[in-house]
Amino acid sequence: MSKDMSYEGVIKRRNEIMKKAVRIDYDAFESEGIAFDYEEMMRKTGYSLQEIQKIQGRTGVGNTPVYELRNLTKLARKFAPKGKGARIFVKDEASNPSGSFKARRAATAVYHAKKLGYKGVIAATSGNYGAAVASQAAMAGLKCIIVQECYDSRKVGQPEIIEKARKCEAYGAEVVQLTVGPELFYTFLKLLEETGYFNASLYTPFGIAGVETLGYEIAMEFREREGKDPDVVVATNAGGGNLTGTARGLIKAGADDVKVIGASVDLKGLHMASDTQFNKKSFTTGHTGFGMPFATWPDRSDVPRSAARALRYMDKYYTVTQGEVFYITEALAQVEGLERGPAGNTSLTAAFSLAQTLDEDKTIVVQETEYTGAGKHIQPQLSFAKDNGIEILVGNPKDQVPGENIILPKHPKLIEAKEINLNKLRKSYIKNAIKNNKDKDITKKDLEFLAVETKTDIEFVKEILNELDVKY
């Protein structure tokens, strides 16, 4: 009997397809209710930190340099109160083989796929991860397919996404470009089933464990050069894996007192799955369209349980505007001599603002950079925005309305990261957990799990459950 290849038929088989494509029995980590054993999932299906360092070292991944951004620090201190202006550092992940920190995720996933005997790997991504998987697959001698959400219904693609497709193809990958919407996941599942390839998902334990080396290296490098751990690490936040892996690596290094801060581009009001709004944004990752929904429900990902769980590790969360990131991208190139892509500069923009609130003897680390290329540069991005009806202005970024305008700051003192109320996100996460619990009773184990998931305590969880009129 032939399989039902309709949308409904394929989606119905998603768990079966996923299990075969990842070879993780996620059911083994489940409890009766909300809780599941996250740490056991990471232990049983991942590798030790030392093993991952060896895996990454085989393909030239990791051990990237840390630079002190002295000129940007001086600039920040001009606008800071007396005695304020923390030293700004950057971990230059653009020196990885594919040009971003995602080489760390891909190296582990591709190594595992080859170890298990898969002939190829597939990843669903519009961004740097696709290039990373393609690069690592080329080194491992595996086939690679990248499924990319690229176009609106007019077949108009964003320059940054087109650039990343070019890079994937340069490494020998087949790139399947699709329109925005449910077509992506359906096609992804179909290809996994038809090819029997490994699902090199961003959200498996292999991928997240691969980023742990990044956090670990930051702690080790700082101890060697500064004699202490950094005070703050800022991570660009989208699906949560960047921040999660980095934080876990810091913890494994014993750097428990380092504050881990998330940063996203504010695209409030734009729906990422909207055909008409898809090309109204100038950032394809590191924005609130991913950062908010994935923080409040990580398991919306392409695996049953995501290993990227940002709320577990995030101490604070800030947003910056598109115009501010464009400004800092230019500043990094012109005052520090480093031309880097937009995603890492999101966290740099937040760091530039936050440094002005910290004492001069403090250190703040931007934990990644990414490569840049033709479609990632500021001018094609702004030209594309204008072609899609976005007004380009110079003024105060506070007045920016996503989808209507991009405001480049007329002065660097106008750059100001805005803090997000984490408790609101935590409440949303708990609401989603209740909704997906299918009306089962809330157990003590569930309460403990929710406290860890939201980086709070049981009393906070009980308070939210009382507000929601949920019994426990």
- Mean pLDDT over residues 121-144, rounded? 95
How far apart are the C-alpha atoms of 160 and 139, rounded to whole Å? 25
* Average pLDDT score, the chain: 95
User: How much is the pLDDT for 222?
Assistant: 97
pLDDT for 36 beyond 90: yes
How much is the pTM?
A: 0.96
pLDDT value at 274 more than 80: yes
Q: In 298-395, where does DSSP find H-type helix? A: 322-336, 342-355, 378-387
User: Topology of 56-98+206-419 in CATH?
Assistant: Rossmann fold (3.40.50)
Tokens for 467, please give them: 């507000």
In degrees and rounded to multiples of 5, residue 210 shows phi and psi of -65, -30
Residue 154 has pLDDT above 80, yes or no: yes
pLDDT tens column, 420-454: 999 999 999 999 999 998 767 899 999 999 999 99
Residue 1 — pLDDT band, cuts 50, 70, 90? low
Confidence check: pLDDT of 271 > 90: no
Show the beta-strand stretches assigned E in 61-173. 66-68, 87-91, 120-124, 143-151
Instruction: Dump pLDDT digits (tens) for 238-268.
Output: 999 999 999 999 999 999 999 999 999 999 9
Element holding 366 (H helix, E strand): strand 363-366
Question: Is pLDDT above 80 for 52?
Answer: yes
Give the number of other Cβ atoms within 10 Å of residue 78's Cβ: 10
Question: With 80 as the cut, is the pLDDT of residue 13 above it?
Answer: yes
Percent of the chain with pLDDT over 70: 100
Using CB atoms within 10 A of its CB, is residue 179 exposed (0-12), middle (13-18) or buried (19+)?
A: middle
pLDDT at residue 302, as a whole number: 86
Q: What is the pLDDT of residue 312?
A: 98
Long-range Cβ contact pairs of 169-174 (< 8 A, separation 24 or more): 171/98, 171/131, 171/134, 171/135, 171/137, 171/138, 171/144, 172/134, 172/137, 172/138, 172/144, 173/130, 173/133, 173/134, 173/137, 173/138, 173/144, 173/145, 173/146, 174/143, 174/144, 174/145, 174/146
> pLDDT tier at 53 (50, 70, 90 boundaries)?
very high
Q: Cα(454)–Cα(451) distance, rounded to whole angstroms? A: 5
Whether pLDDT at 321 is above 90: yes
Q: Nearest CA to 464 among 298, 359, 311, 282?
A: 311
Q: Are 468 and 431 in contact (CB under 8 A)?
A: yes
Mean pLDDT of 379-389: 95
Sign of CA dihedral 289, 291, 292, 297: positive
Do residues 300 and 294 touch, judged by C-beta distance below 8 A?
Answer: yes
Phi, psi of 117 (to 5 degrees): 90, 15
Separation CA 30–CA 21 (nearest Å): 19
